[in-house]
Amino acid sequence: MAAPLVSLDDVTVQFRTDRGWTTAVDGISFDIAERDCVGVVGESGSGKSVTALSLLRLHARGTSRFPRGQVRFGGQDLLTAPERDLRRIRGRDIAMVFQDPMSSLNPVLTVCDQISETLRLHQGLDRATARRRAIELLDLVRIPDAARRVDDYPHRLSGGMRQRVMIAIAIACRPRLLIADEPTTALDVTIQAQILELLRELRTELGMAVMLISHDLGVIAEFADRVIVMYAGRVVEDAPVDALFRSPRHPYTEGLMASMPALEGGITRLYAIPGRIPDPDEAIAGCRFGPRCRHAEAICRVAVPELLAIEGRHRVRCAPRTRATGGL
């Protein structure tokens, strides 16, 4: 079996607060293969974006730390790599599309300047060649009249166009992994569908892997090959997309599925998972989902369940479910 493109092993992320160091991500482990598309889902505060930013070590210096774990890429641990090595990897080998393009794009630089910066830094292109390539990239992400739009400032573009510019910047150097953090959240439904279709086409055309972060299970079901469900800083389920939507095994995943509105059968009251997601520094013995779980047993309030395989590539962090299915 080929080695994974990126491998996260027991990654833990902490942030400095007035009360000391708080753990936001606790022992995350999963792999991303070449050309794979991994969807990451969970409530706000579950650690999805913190995990994504950790791959490129983009957390603020001095207020964050990695007390344990590794992120292996190309035989190197990105959590301990020198900053000069990370600068070569960011934007070239691993690129990221952020949630809000208006705050991610520089308002005083043209689209051409912002795309060209990546091309000149990582590929050594001169100004004229970088401009031609920027126009080609705008064409590639389906922005009409690219030769004129390349000189626009971000405020002159619609939300959908700004997100396409962000994607153009991210794919400029044909990265091996594209991280898309809620890339359609601020867009209307029609534009969301267009952006997702664009990402699907680019993934095929460029042969890149994609890590798609979303709170929208419908988006994940349509786009991802594999789904990682996070809760309170931990992975609680990891499975191929068909298996997860056909037979979710963790009670939290079941709750997320039940909270989705039905397309048929008229208007019904949506299911809501009782309780709330715990604060990162809140002490909870045993399973962190236990206080909200209707299937909780005595063991759930004592032992922290491990993430165990139950069948094939399906893993779940739930002691009663892994015991019932004979997980090893």
pLDDT digits (tens, 9 = 90+) for 159-216: 899 999 999 999 999 999 999 999 887 778 888 888 889 999 999 999 999 999 998 8
For the segment 253-265, the average pLDDT, to the nearest whole number, is: 79
Give residues with Cβ within 8 angstroms of 144, minimum separation 6: none
DSSP per-residue codes, 127-168 = HHHHHHHHHHHHHHTT-SSHHHHTT--GGGS-HHHHHHHHHH
Cα–Cα distance list, 85 to 93, 105, 185 (Å): 11, 24, 32
What tens digit of pLDDT does each residue of 92-113 get?
Answer: 999 999 887 778 899 999 999 9
Q: Are residues 187 and 242 in the same domain?
A: no
| Residue 71, domain member (yes or no) | no
Structural domain includes residue 13: no
Do 42 and 187 fall into the same domain?
yes
Task: Supply the range of the domain harboring residue 321.
Answer: 225-254+267-328
Q: What is the pLDDT of residue 328?
A: 41
| Joined tokens for residue 99 | 């949630």
Higher pLDDT, 309 or 103: 309
| Residue 136 included in any domain | yes
Q: 185 and 247: one domain?
A: no
Of 28, 40, 29, which is closest to residue 4 (Cα–Cα)? Answer: 29
The total of structural domains in the chain comes to 2
The verdict on 185 and 276 lying in the same domain is no
Specify whether 205 is located in the same domain as 284: no
Query: Has residue 261 been placed in a domain?
Result: no
